Amino acid sequence: MQDELLYQMQNAFPMTQRPFKEIADALSTTEEEVLSTVQKLKDEKIIRQTSAIFDTKRLGYKSSLVAFKVTEDNIDEAAQTINAHPGVSHNYLRNHDYNIWFTMAVAPDSKLGLEKTIEILKEQTGADDAIILPTLKMFKISVKMDTTGKRAKKEKVKKAAHKEIELTPQHIAVIKELQKDITVTSEPYKEATEKLGMDYDAFFTIANELKESGVMRRFATILNHRKAGFGANAMSVWSVPEEKGEEIGRQMAEFSAVSHCYLRPSYPNWPYNLFAMVHAKTQEECDTLIEEMAKESGLSEYGKLYSTVEFKKQRLVYFDDAFKEWEESV
pLDDT of residue 150: 65
CATH number for the region 1-44+168-223 comes to: 1.10.10.2890
pLDDT of residue 249: 97
58-145+230-313 topology per CATH = Alpha-Beta Plaits (3.30.70)
Q: What are phi and psi of 209, to 5 degrees?
A: -60, -45
pLDDT of residue 236: 97
Q: How far, in Å, CA of 282 to CA of 264, rounded?
A: 27
pLDDT beyond 80 at 50: yes
CA 256 to chain centre: 16
Nearest to 242 by CA among 265, 261, 258: 265
Q: How far, in Å, CA of 212 to CA of 110, rounded?
A: 27
Where exactly does CATH 3.30.70.3460 map onto the chain? 58-145+230-313
Q: How far, in Å, CA of 69 to CA of 99, rounded?
A: 6
Where exactly does CATH 1.10.10.2890 map onto the chain? 1-44+168-223
Which of 90, 96, 260, 279 is labelled catalytic?
A: 90
Q: How far, in Å, CA of 59 to CA of 41, rounded?
A: 31
Section 96-115 average pLDDT: 97
pLDDT beyond 80 at 158: no
| Percent of all residues in the chain with a pLDDT value above 90, rounded to a whole number | 83
Section 280-297 average pLDDT: 94
pLDDT beyond 70 at 149: no
Active site residue 96: no
Helix, strand or coil, per DSSP, at residue 201? helix
Section 255-266 average pLDDT: 95
Confidence of residue 226 (pLDDT cuts 50, 70, 90): confident
Position 9: which residue type?
M
CB atoms within 10 A of CB 248: 22
